[in-house]
């Protein structure tokens, strides 16, 4: 939206410059200078008012974006949480590489990384609230409550789920009614 407004401002500036040039040519070549000066002043006032309106729209847009950002930080999404091991049977043919291309340094000791995979419906490119690299807070997940980093995506058939990355050999578990929320990354 900001790019569109910047483009609109640029077009408006270009238009006003061209129009100013045309008016100046008209002032030089026309005998009715007083009329052209009045028209120019009127145009200048309209241009100033339009510029003020654009600044107001940009300011409102920035304020709304801040509100949306704050709301998205406070939204707690209920999910089902399970776990996965970085093995071919549970991943693709490169189980030590996550969806965001992060390399799992040791598949036998990766629980400590606190990385999760989220179902694709929760990812930004499908309209979800999370991006790769986001820090999230997980609640109501028993011994897995805590802060995690979104690094991977689950199979397309999974909906409203998360998977905790666990070291090979860890026991399977599942939690229902888990809450996930994004934490400020700044």
Q: Which residue has the tokens 């909906």?
A: 159
Mean pLDDT of the chain: 81
Which pTM does this prediction carry? Answer: 0.60
Q: Which residues contact 184 (CB under 8 A, 6 or more apart)?
A: 73, 135
pLDDT in tens, 118-165: 999 999 999 999 999 999 999 999 999 999 999 999 999 999 999 999
CA-wise closest residue to 20 among 38, 4, 3, 44: 44
CA-wise closest residue to 76 among 164, 23, 25, 141: 141
Query: How would you classify the pairing of strands 115-118 and 161-165?
Result: antiparallel
Cα–Cα distances in Å, from 134 out to 26, 28, 130, 151, 154?
59, 61, 6, 8, 16
**pLDDT at position 88 over 80:** yes
> 28 - beta bridge partners?
none
pLDDT in tens, 107-120: 999 999 999 999 99
The pLDDT score that the predictor gives to residue 130 is: 94
Q: Which residues contact 141 (CB under 8 A, 6 or more apart)?
A: 81, 175, 178
């Amino acid at each position: 939206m900001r790019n569109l407004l910047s483009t609109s401002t640029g077009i408006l500036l270009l238009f006003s410059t061209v129009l100013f040039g045309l008016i100046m040519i008209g002032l030089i070549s026309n005998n009715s200078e007083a009329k052209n000066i009045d028209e120019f002043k009127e145009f200048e006032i309209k241009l100033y008012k339009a510029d003020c309106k654009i600044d107001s729209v940009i300011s409102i847009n920035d304020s709304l974006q801040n509100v949306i950002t704050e709301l998205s930080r406070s939204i707690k999404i209920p999910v089902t949480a399970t776990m996965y091991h970085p093995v071919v049977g549970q991943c693709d043919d490169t189980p030590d590489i996550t969806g965001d291309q992060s390399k799992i340094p040791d598949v036998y000791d990766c629980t400590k990384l606190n990385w999760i995979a989220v179902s694709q419906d929760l990812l930004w490119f499908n309209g979800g609230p999370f991006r790769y690299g986001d820090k999230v807070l997980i609640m109501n997940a028993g011994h897995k409550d805590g802060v995690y980093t979104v690094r991977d995506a689950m199979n397309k058939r999974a909906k409203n789920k998360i998977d905790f990355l666990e070291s090979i050999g860890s026991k399977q578990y599942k939690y229902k009614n888990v809450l996930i929320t994004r934490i400020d990354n700044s």
